[in-house]
Amino acid sequence: MRADAPPHDRASAPPQIGLVTSPLVLEHDTGAGHPERSARIKAVLRRLDERGLTAQLAALEAPRASLTALERVHPSAYVERVAESIRRGAPYIDSPDSTVSSGSYDAALVAAGGALAASDLVATGAWRAAFCALRPPGHHAEEATSMGFCLFNNAAIVARHLQAAHGYSRVAIVDFDVHHGNGTQHLFEHDPSVFYASLHQYPHYPGTGAADERGLGDGEGTTLNLPQPRGSGDVEWLRAFEGRLLPALEAFAPECVIVSAGFDAHALDPLSGTELSAAVFGTFTRGLVEVAQRLGHGRIVSLLEGGYSLEGLAASTAAHVEALLDSY
């Protein structure tokens, strides 16, 4: 796989890849100086437009998630606590980095609901794959605790929905955010029906994701952590991705691949000590699609996680989406 693989002609093909977003996610106001800000979504959508990619995508405005879907992952008491805390004007949920405003609960419902709607369209074959440009992100959210800018764990909610609503017995979550997805790992580490694989900088926030964390009990072996040292770049991450992650993913044989698509491992990112190029995210994407296609379905649901340099985020997301378009 090459990061500079040429595109094929898509001019006459109907849209097979979806883009899910919503203006409501801009109402999640994290305040001046916070890295997880609404400008991230604006930068992503602007770059997709500038590159002529938006016109090639099937667009959907994200709906709100149902409480039923949320409560497959998060206890109702936690969901109610998040909603009530925001209603009464709390400045954050559980941790000062998880800042909230009056629009944050609706934004969080839409972030989860858009991911769920995308997964339904992919599962039914209406779309081959989808990218969800939504926020707040989700992979740090634990079962009943917010942290790391995340309120609800969107990837986990999608995984449980695919199992409950579409009957899938094996779902994979692949996470290439520079920060380990502690919440996602902990939610599934006992569960052999969900494979969680993470490439991330280590040691780094949140402190989890060592190589010997492989799952627990019945879930032992269905967690794969591939920690990379500070200063690593495309060569090191691709070696782990192609040499270990993709073979393990194919061996698990998931019926759908959920991508926790964080772009904060880009060299420009202020919260990272990793040196990835934008192009390598396209290489990751093509590799995931190739595995999904070899498994006979090609189903990919990609959810935006981190990425805090607006330029790094925009360039990396464009490479990711273009690779999705080129792969089908």
Q: What would the two tokens of residue 149 be?
A: 């800018």
- Cα–Cα distance between 325 and 53 in angstroms, integer? 8
pLDDT in tens, the chain (328 residues): 434 444 445 555 667 999 999 999 999 999 999 999 999 999 999 999 999 999 999 999 999 999 999 999 999 999 999 999 999 999 999 999 999 999 999 999 999 999 999 999 999 999 999 999 999 999 999 999 999 999 999 999 999 999 999 999 999 999 999 999 999 999 999 999 999 999 999 999 999 999 999 999 999 999 999 999 999 999 999 999 999 999 999 999 999 999 999 999 999 999 999 999 999 999 999 999 999 999 999 999 999 999 999 999 999 999 999 999 999 9
What DSSP assignment string belongs to 224-291?
Answer: EEEEE-TT-BHHHHHHHIIIIIHHHHHHH--SEEEEEE--TTBTT-TT---BB-SHHHHHHHHHHHHH
- What would the pLDDT profile of 274-307 be if each residue is shown by its tens digit? 999 999 999 999 999 999 999 999 999 999 999 9
- Cα–Cα distance between 242 and 236 in angstroms, integer? 10
Q: So what's the pLDDT on residue 6?
A: 42
What DSSP assignment string belongs to 116-137?
Answer: HHHHHHHHTTS-SEEEE--SS-
Task: Supply the Cα-derived Rg of the chain in whole angstroms.
Answer: 18
**Which domains, and CATH codes, for the chain?**
17-326 (3.40.800.20)
Instruction: Indicate the residue type of 279.
Output: A
pTM (two decimals): 0.96
Residues annotated as catalytic (active site), given as ranges: 140
The answer to whether the beta carbons of residues 222 and 173 sit under 8 Å apart is no
- What would the pLDDT profile of 196-215 be if each residue is shown by its tens digit? 999 999 999 999 999 999 99
- What would the pLDDT profile of 81-121 be if each residue is shown by its tens digit? 999 999 999 999 999 999 999 999 999 999 999 999 999 99
